Every structure is written in C-alpha cells, then in structure tokens.
Amino acid sequence: MDTNPVKSQLWASVGAYLQELQESGVDGLEMESPTALLSESAPPQPASAQIETGLKKDLPEPEPAQQHETLEQIRKNLGDCQRCKLGATRNQLVFGVGNSNARLVFVGEGPGADEDMKGEPFVGDAGRMLNRIIAAMGLQREEVYICNVVKCRPPQNRNPEKDEITTCSPFLLRQLHSIKPEVIVALGTFAAQAVLGTKEPISKLRGKFHDFHGIPLMPTYHPSYLLRTGGNSDSFWTVWDDMTQVLRLLKLPVPDKSRKK
C-alpha cells in the first residue's frame, strides 16, 4: 500500500489522464485496467496490475519523501531513454527548454530534424514562428517553457504512434506537475488531441480554454501551419486571437497589433 500522498496524487493524475485518452478514442492505450491507476493506493508494481504498454515497467517513480519533483530530476530519470522505438533513431532527446517556474507552457507535437540535432524544442522554422508569436505577446522565450508531447524525433517527421505517446506522455505530465503553469498552449492538431484525449479537429478545439488537470489549456494552430499560410494570414490572426485570451487570463497587457487590411 502506497501511503505517500504526493506519489498517490501523481499516480491518480497519470491514471486519469490515460483513462481520458482511452475513453475519448485516442488509439492504442491498451490498458487492462485503467482504473487500477486511479486508485489512491495504486503503486507502480506489480506490472500485471498495470497496462500493456511501455509504461508498465518504466513509469518513473518520484522519490518517496519528495514534495516537489524538479525538471532536472525528471530529465535525469529519462536518462538515455530507450523506452520506445524512437530511442533507436533519434540523435538527441529533446526534453524541454525555458523557465522552470513559467506561468505559460507551450506544448508541441515532437521534435523535427533541427530539434533532434540541437536537443532543443522549436529551433527550426516553426521555432522562429513560435518566437514571433511569443515576442508579439510581449514575452521572451526564456520566460515561458516549451516542450513536446514526445521527446524524440519520429523518423521522417511522421506523427508519433500510439505506443510512443503512451510511453512518453507521463513525462510530459510530470513536467507540467513540476512547473505548475497557469496556462498551457497546445500547438497544433496532434498536441491538442493527444493532450486532451480527443479526436476533435483543431478548428473546433481552438479559441476556448479546456481543462487539463485543473490548468486552463488553449489549443491553437501549429506554427508550421502559419509558415504555410503566411505571417499576415487569417490563420495568423486567429492564433493571435487565441493568444490574447491567454494574455488576458494571465492578466498581462495585450499589445495592440494592427491587422492586415
């Protein structure tokens, strides 16, 4: 019986998250008993009571007496991660970057080629577009936190697969638990669907806050999409509208931006 309240709470969150994903149709969360994870006393062992995924032996355990898990501890726990098949093909694991006390966290899909080479999320063209968005909000990249649903680059930039999401998502959840941001922005269809556990299109999800473990989450279009539509496109201003909602929730000033004519 696990009596550590921090650990129990973390397990309950992970279990609830996985159950949400499974119930809402994100494929491949082949849990024998998702409710086993929801139990206050559900420990990571024995494996048979857990799920038929990479989680069952690898879900990291917080230190027993730990009140707060730091990002460094989570990174260390990931180590030279080979928990899923992406470990074999990546160059660098891309954990996340930014302020460990950020009020705002951006979550993308997964690293691309530039990120895989550099070990940092959003450093390629999409990253430059994200930087533009952050700057337009009156913020600096260093004051927010940026990470992805999966930490390793899928080959040929394909979408992450279900087993990869299942294996990696507990680490995202732990990062968010550690940072405790006031708002999360999910960038693009994949990140929004994976984090919220839904198949709804981004066009339906964006523009309003969703609840993610008590934290308001705003889905919006992915910066790569804006690269295709242009920096003064309707989509660009749609993202700006979403970001103004984020700024208002954070009680930050909304910079005055002139729209295209």
**CB nearer to ligand URA: pick between 20 and 120:** 120
Q: Find the residue with minimal CB distance to ligand URA.
A: 108
Region of 37-45, 55-63, 109-117, 132-140 interacting with ligand URA (CB under 6 A) = 109-117
Nearest alpha carbon to residue 85 among 117, 49, 115, 53: 53
Kindly state whether residue 198 participates in binding ligand URA, applying the rule CB under 6 A.
no
Region of 120-128, 133-141, 162-170, 230-238 interacting with ligand URA (CB under 6 A) = 120-128
Q: Which of 98, 111, 160, 197 binds ligand URA (CB under 6 A)?
A: 111
Kindly state whether residue 145 participates in binding ligand URA, applying the rule CB under 6 A.
no
What Cα–Cα distance (Å) separates residue 33 from each residue in 52, 170, 255?
A: 9, 17, 48
**CB nearer to ligand URA: pick between 34 and 110:** 110
Kindly state whether residue 22 participates in binding ligand URA, applying the rule CB under 6 A.
no
Kindly state whether residue 122 participates in binding ligand URA, applying the rule CB under 6 A.
yes
Q: What is the rounded distance in angstroms from the CA atom of residue 88 to the CA atom of residue 103?
A: 34
Kindly state whether residue 97 participates in binding ligand URA, applying the rule CB under 6 A.
no
Kindly state whether residue 189 participates in binding ligand URA, applying the rule CB under 6 A.
no
CB atoms within 10 A of CB 1: 7
Structure tokens at 203: 């066009």
- State the Cα torsion 115-118-122-128 to the nearest 10°: -120
Nearest alpha carbon to residue 104 among 144, 149, 147, 146: 144
Strands of 104-108's sheet in order across: 97-98, 145-148, 104-108, 183-187, 215-220, 210-212
**CB nearer to ligand URA: pick between 36 and 227:** 227
DSSP code for 105: E
Q: What is the rounded distance in angstroms from the CA atom of residue 12 to the CA atom of residue 160?
A: 25
**CB nearer to ligand URA: pick between 115 and 164:** 115
Number of chain positions touching ligand URA (CB under 6 A): 10
**CB nearer to ligand URA: pick between 54 and 110:** 110
Site for ligand URA in 147-176 (CB under 6 A): 148
Kindly state whether residue 126 participates in binding ligand URA, applying the rule CB under 6 A.
yes
For 188-204, letters b (16+ CB in 10 Å) and e give: bbbbbbbbbbbeeebee
Kindly state whether residue 98 participates in binding ligand URA, applying the rule CB under 6 A.
no
* Binding interface with ligand URA (CB under 6 A): 108-112, 115, 121-122, 126, 148
